[in-house]
Amino acid sequence: MIIYTSIAVFLFSAIALIIPDGVSVGPVLLLAGSAALLRKLNRPKLEREEIALILVLALYFLVGVLANLAHAAPLREYDSAARFLLAIPVLLLLRSFPPLPYFFWSGTGIGAISSGLYGVWQVFSVSGMRAAGHTNPIQFGNISMLLGVLCLAGLGWAATDRRSAFWRVLMSCGMFFGLLGSLLSGSRGSWISLLVALPAAYFCYGGAWSRRHMAAATASILLLFSVLLAVPQLPMETRIKLAVTESQDYFYSGTSTTSVGARLEMWRAGMLLVPEHPWLGWGKDGYVQREDHLVQAGKIRLIPGEHNHLHNEYLDALVKRGLAGLVALLALYLVPLILFARHVRDNNRAVRPYAVAGVLLIVCYMTFGLTQSFLTHNNGVMTLAFMLVILWSLLRSSSAGTTANGTFPTIKTPSNP
C-alpha cells in the first residue's frame, strides 16, 4: 500500500500541468486507496495537530455548504468546497501509509521541469503567446511557480541524502524551470509570490543557508529575469509595461476595459457590495446579478467579458460568503501555516524540508490570492487541498522515525495488512 500511495503522490505533481486535468489523477488514486481505512486495523492514531488540520478543512467545507444553502445555489457550486472534505480521508490514508520521500520530491522536480519545458514549447513552437498548458495562463503560472518554490524547499531535503549531488541538481533544475514556466505564462501575480517566498524560505531555514548561498540564488533568479526581459518574443517586458500603463489609465482616465483596470473596478464593486450582505454574502449568482445592477445604475464602470469572481481571494470570499466565508478562508491559510511553522526549526533535520515546503505552499497561496481567486478553479483547489495533506503526512512520518540520512521514515504497518 505504501508503494501505491507513493506512486499516486508522484503523479500528483509530475503530470499536474502537462496533461488535461493532470492535477486530479493523484488525488483520485489516493481517494480510491482510502477505502483501505475501512479496516479498523489500518486507522491511524491522530494527534492534536492532525485534528486541527481536519477541523479547518471541515470548517471550510461547512461554511461553503451553508452559504450555498442560504443562496439556493445549484449543486455544481458544492463541488469546490467538497474537495477539501475529500482531502480528509486522504490525510488519514497517508498517515497510515506515508509515501516514500523520493517519490514526492522526484514528482515535484519532474513536474516543475516539465511545466517549464512545456511553456517553452507553447511559446516558441505553438501559440507564440503566453504559456497556458491545458488551463489558463494565470493558473498555469501560479502552479508552475509553486512547484518551483517547493523545489527550493527540496534543496534542504537533498542535503540530507547520501546521493545529494543528484538530488541537488534535480531540485535546482526544478526551481529554475518552475520559475521559467511561470515567467513564460505572463502571470504577474505569481511573480509577486516569489518576492515573498524567497525571504520566507531563508527565514525558515534559519541560517542553514549562508549569505553566499542566498546571494547566489538571488543572483541566479535575477539573471533569469534579465535574460527573459532581453528576449523580444517573450511576454515579460510587455506584461510589466502594460501593468504600469493600465494602472495609470485607470486612475487618471477611469479606464476599466483593461486587465488591471477591470480588476481594480471589480475590487471597488466588491467593497460596495460587502456592507449590503456582510454575514453570508451574496452567493455567486447574486454577486453577478448585483454587479450588473450597479453597472446599469452608473455606480461602477462597465467591466468587459464574463466573470464570476473578483480576482481577489479574500474579497471574493467576503462578497460571496460574507464574514463567515472570510473567516473560514483565513483559517484555511493561517492554521496550517502555524502548524508547519512550528516545525521549521525542528531538531530532526528530516522534518524541516516538509515544514518549510508547507510554509511556502501557504505563503504562495496567500500571495496568489491578492490578484486571483485561485480557489474558484479546480486545479487551484486540488493543488492546495491535497498538497497540504501530502506535506503534512510526510512531516509526521519523518518526525516518527528516520534513518541516519533523514530520507526514509521508519514505517509501521499493521501485522495483518
Q: What is the mean pLDDT of residues 314-323?
A: 95
Which cell goes with 51? 485534528
Q: How far apart are the C-alpha atoms of 227 and 23, rounded to whole Å?
A: 30
The chain-wide mean pLDDT, for the chain, equals 86
**% of the chain with per-residue pLDDT over 90:** 52
Give the model's pLDDT for residue 408: 39
Q: What is the mean pLDDT of residues 318-322?
A: 95
Name the more confident of 123 and 233: 123
The residues that bridge with 402 in the sheet, in sequence order, are 409
The residues that bridge with 409 in the sheet, in sequence order, are 402
- How open is the CA angle 245-247-248, to the nearest 5 degrees? 65
Give the model's pLDDT for residue 308: 83
Name the more confident of 235 and 32: 32
Q: Which secondary-structure segment (H or E) carries 194?
A: helix 188-205
Give the model's pLDDT for residue 216: 63
Which residue from 186, 194, 195, 175 is spatially nearest to 231, judged by alpha carbons?
Answer: 186
How confident is residue 126, by pLDDT bands cut at 50, 70 and 90?
Answer: confident
Helix (H, G, I), strand (E, B), or coil: what is residue 244?
A: helix
Q: What is the mean pLDDT of residues 332-356?
A: 93
List the beta strands (DSSP E) in 247-395.
none
Q: Residue 249 pLDDT > 90, yes or no?
A: no
Q: Residue 30 pLDDT > 90, yes or no?
A: yes
Give the model's pLDDT for residue 302: 75
Its pTM stands at 0.90
DSSP 8-state class, residue 414? -
How confident is residue 57, by pLDDT bands cut at 50, 70 and 90?
Answer: very high
**Which whole-number Å values give the CA distances from 178 to 80, 202, 302, 375, 389, in the listed order?**
26, 19, 36, 21, 22
Q: What is the mean pLDDT of residues 172-191?
A: 88
**Quick one: 59 exposed, middle or buried, by C-beta within 10 A (0-12, 13-18, 19+)?**
middle
Q: How far apart are the C-alpha atoms of 100 and 175, rounded to whole Å?
A: 21
Helix (H, G, I), strand (E, B), or coil: what is residue 345?
A: coil
Give the model's pLDDT for residue 375: 94
Asked if 106 and 407 count as a contact pair (C-beta separation under 8 A), the reply is: no
Q: Which of 58-62, 77-81, 173-177, 400-404 has the highest mean pLDDT?
A: 58-62
How confident is residue 131, by pLDDT bands cut at 50, 70 and 90?
Answer: confident
